[in-house]
């Protein structure tokens, strides 16, 4: 990987149409530890892009470099054709929403929202009008004179959102904004943030470790691991066509098997054999989504090996009821496979210990070559 050194002086960069935010070989090292390693990314104007990954993957560091709160070791940050790598945060015109809200505790809600406008020395009347608008947008007009500590977590997060948006930033940055909210509120805020982002047509970068947030809210998902890009694509792409086993297992649930491919579409796993798409060879990792699999009782007549289907026989070791779903844990040759089925009024429980057959389509089998 070639590392570019930080360039300054030439503020303009050849324009690439439609790209609003571009990261060129962006890196951050702390001594020997690499937090972000040569990240290249282009965010088109008006898109909401998720940086998704486990903690420590460098997603927050990347966001903080874009905001100007961390100085990159290498690489460039380009916004609208201007190199802003060395620009201090207070000139960057970005709205940042923190996981911990970071509201000013000594100011009222209205004062919090007005802060960015006051820093821009706008006339008083305009500040008042825009604060009102912003608070109306997040439905908090009634709480304008309250102090942050008098608000609930969800209300505080909406103030933080209003405060970041009222300055009409060029880019909205969201650092795990929903992580401190409870599940129900999180769903609400997810839709709210998405609606506001779309109605304003603002370019936004959303850092999260929650694949549901990334998939449901964003135009594009950037999966990161160990400071590097693992895969960039639409939510459907990343979920349905993961390019690496890491993406397959991090985005959505998967069953993971290991086997030996014969180069003709057949893979031997333990004592059984399945078919996979393509003609891989050597040692392979097999991933199958639990909801793509079907459980049938052995000997029920449904378990015949149809064309284009894989089958595996096993023993039902556990059934978990999780409301909308039933999870069947099947022991196939000592490997546990999880099958998910929609729960129909609590029906569909099968006897634990019975012999069952798992069926899934060949095309739903994801295969990854094993380098080692």
Partner 1 sequence: MTAIAASMAPATPRLALGRTGTAIALLLPIAVINAIGFILPVLNLLRMSFNEALAGGGVREAFTLANWTGLFGDTFYVELIVNSITVSLGITLATLVVSYPIALYLHRSSGRWRTFLTVLVISPLLTSAVVRTYGWIALLAEQGPIVSTIAAMGFSPPRLMFNTTGVIIGLTEILMPYMILSLLAGFGRLDPRVEEAAMTLGAPPAKTFWRVILPLTLPGIALGCLLCFVLAVSSFITPKLLGGGRVFLLATEIYDQAIVTLNWPLAATLSMLVLIIFGAALGAYARVLRAID
Largest CA distance in the chain: 79
Enumerate residues 152-181 that contact partner 1 by CB under 8 A. Answer: 163-164, 167
- CA gap 120, 300 in Å, rounded: 73
Considering only CA atoms, which of 147, 146, 154, 207 is closest in space to residue 180? Answer: 154
Q: Using the rule CB under 8 A, which residue among 4, 100, 152, 354 binds partner 1?
A: 100
Decide whether 98 or 246 has the Cβ nearer to partner 1.
98
Q: Nearest approach, Cβ of 42 to partner 1 (angstroms)?
A: 22
Q: Nearest approach, Cβ of 202 to partner 1 (angstroms)?
A: 15
Considering the rule CB under 8 A, would residue 184 count as an interface residue with partner 1?
Answer: no
Cα–Cα–Cα angle for 331, 301, 322, rounded to 5 degrees: 45
Q: Using the rule CB under 8 A, which residue among 39, 67, 134, 274 binds partner 1?
A: 67
Total residues interacting with partner 1, rule: CB under 8 A: 26
Other CB atoms within 10 Å distance of the CB of residue 340: 20
Enumerate residues 103-142 that contact partner 1 by CB under 8 A. Answer: 103-106, 115-116, 119-120
Considering the rule CB under 8 A, would residue 313 count as an interface residue with partner 1?
Answer: no
Considering the rule CB under 8 A, would residue 206 count as an interface residue with partner 1?
Answer: no
Q: Computed from CA positions of residues 206, 201, 95, 42, in that sequence, does the dihedral angle turn out positive or negative?
A: positive
Binding segment for partner 1 (CB under 8 A), chosen from 4-12, 97-105, 190-198, 276-284, is 97-105
Decide whether 116 or 252 has the Cβ nearer to partner 1.
116
Considering only CA atoms, which of 25, 19, 64, 71 is closest in space to residue 46? Answer: 19
First vs last C-alpha separation in the chain: 22
Q: Nearest approach, Cβ of 169 to partner 1 (angstroms)?
A: 9
Considering the rule CB under 8 A, would residue 90 count as an interface residue with partner 1?
Answer: yes
Measured in whole angstroms, how far is the alpha carbon of residue 234 from the centre of its chain? 11
Decide whether 92 or 158 has the Cβ nearer to partner 1.
92
- CA gap 23, 76 in Å, rounded: 6
DSSP-derived 3-state class of residue 360: strand
Binding segment for partner 1 (CB under 8 A), chosen from 30-38, 82-90, 228-236, 301-309, is 82-90
- CA gap 135, 342 in Å, rounded: 41
Site residues (CB under 8 A) for partner 1? 67-69, 88-96, 98, 100, 102-106, 115-116, 119-120, 163-164, 167
């Amino acid at each position: 990987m070639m590392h570019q050194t930080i360039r300054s002086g030439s503020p303009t960069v050849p324009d690439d149409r439609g790209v609003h935010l571009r990261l060129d070989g962006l890196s951050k090292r702390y001594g020997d530890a690499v937090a972000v390693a040569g990240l290249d990314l282009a965010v088109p104007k008006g898109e909401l892009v998720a940086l998704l990954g486990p903690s420590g993957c460098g997603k927050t560091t990347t966001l903080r470099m874009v905001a100007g709160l961390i100085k990159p070791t290498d690489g460039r940050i380009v916004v609208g054709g201007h190199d802003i790598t060395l620009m201090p945060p207070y000139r960057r015109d970005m709205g940042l929403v923190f996981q911990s809200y970071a509201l000013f505790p000594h100011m009222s809600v209205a004062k919090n929202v007005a802060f960015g406008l006051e820093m821009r020395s706008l006339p008083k009347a305009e500040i008042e009008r825009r604060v009102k608008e912003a608070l109306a947008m997040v439905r908090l007009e009634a709480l304008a004179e309250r102090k942050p500590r008098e608000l609930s977590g969800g209300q505080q997060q909406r103030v933080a959102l209003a405060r970041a948006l009222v300055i009409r930033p060029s880019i909205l940055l969201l650092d795990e904004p929903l992580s401190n909210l409870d599940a129900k509120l999180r769903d609400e805020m997810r839709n709210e943030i998405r609606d506001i982002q779309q109605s304003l047509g603002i370019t936004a970068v959303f850092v999260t470790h929650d694949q549901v947030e990334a998939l449901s809210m964003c135009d594009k998902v950037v999966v990161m691991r160990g400071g590097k890009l693992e895969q960039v694509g639409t939510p459907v792409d990343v979920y349905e066509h993961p390019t690496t086993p890491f993406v397959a297992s991090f985005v959505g649930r998967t069953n993971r098997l290991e086997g030996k491919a014969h180069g003709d579409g057949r893979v031997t796993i333990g004592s059984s054999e399945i078919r996979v798409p393509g003609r891989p060879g050597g040692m392979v990792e097999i991933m199958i989504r639990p909801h793509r699999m079907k459980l049938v009782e052995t000997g029920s007549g449904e378990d015949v090996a149809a064309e284009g289907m894989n089958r595996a026989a096993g023993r039902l070791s556990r059934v978990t009821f999780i409301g909308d779903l039933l999870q069947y844990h099947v022991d196939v040759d000592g490997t546990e496979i999880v099958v998910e089925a929609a729960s129909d009024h609590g029906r569909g429980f099968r006897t634990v210990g019975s012999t069952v057959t798992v069926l899934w389509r060949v095309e739903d089998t994801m295969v990854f070559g094993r380098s080692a």
